[in-house]
Amino acid sequence: MTYDPNNIFARILRGEIPCNKVYEDDFTLAFHDISPQAPVHILVIPKGQYTSLDDFAANASEPEAAALLRACAKVAEIAGVTGTGWRLLGNVGADGGQEVPHLHFHVFGGRHLGRMVAKPS
Ligand code: 5GP
């Protein structure tokens, strides 16, 4: 899939759309989800232009890959859920339910999160 430079997260990275920032380093940005599904719901994204985890795993550098993973745990720590537990979720592609075509991980926490995968309705 070709990267769409006008996707919503690309526009957040360029500062064209505001976000509620939680964490930033050279390679990653984390911000609160606009429609939180749990008391803690933070999105962690690479600054590089990667459509999905498939794309990132194939093409990202080792420093980018390490930074993204470490940023997820850092965000959980900042949000105060390291002790109580939390969930890292990455939706990939159509069946995965990925809506925004820029790689992102969801960090959820702040309550018991229930089943790992919802049953089909
Ligand atoms: P996906 O379904 O692609 O894994 O998740 C996309 C997430 O992006 C959703 O949880 C949605 O609420 C969030 N989102 C969509 N647009 C915006 C936005 O403009 N700002 C923020 N902070 N989150 C957004």
Alpha helices in 34-61, H assignment, sequence order: 53-59
Which atom of ligand 1 has the smallest separation from the CA of 41?
10
Q: Does residue 32 carry a catalytic annotation?
A: no
Domains and their CATH numbers in the chain: 8-109 (3.30.428.10)
What local confidence, expressed as pLDDT, does residue 117 receive? 79
Regarding the beta carbon of 92 and ligand 1, being less than 6 Å apart is answered no
The pLDDT value recorded for residue 121 is 63
Task: Give 3-state DSSP helix, strand, coil % of the chain, rounded to 5.
Answer: 30, 20, 50
Residues 6+ apart with CB under 8 A from 16: none
Output the DSSP codes for 70-106.
Answer: HHHHHHHHHHT-TTT-EEEE---HHHHT--SSS--EE
pLDDT means per 10 residues in the chain (121 residues)?
Answer: 96 98 98 98 98 98 98 98 97 96 98 84 63
40 vs 3: CA distance, rounded Å: 29
What's the confidence (pLDDT) of residue 104? 98
Q: What is the pLDDT of residue 82?
A: 97
Distance, in Å, from the CA atom of 17 to the CA atom of 114, rounded to the nearest integer, reads: 33
pLDDT of residue 115: 84
Its pTM stands at 0.97
Ligand 1: centre distance to CA 45 (Å) = 11
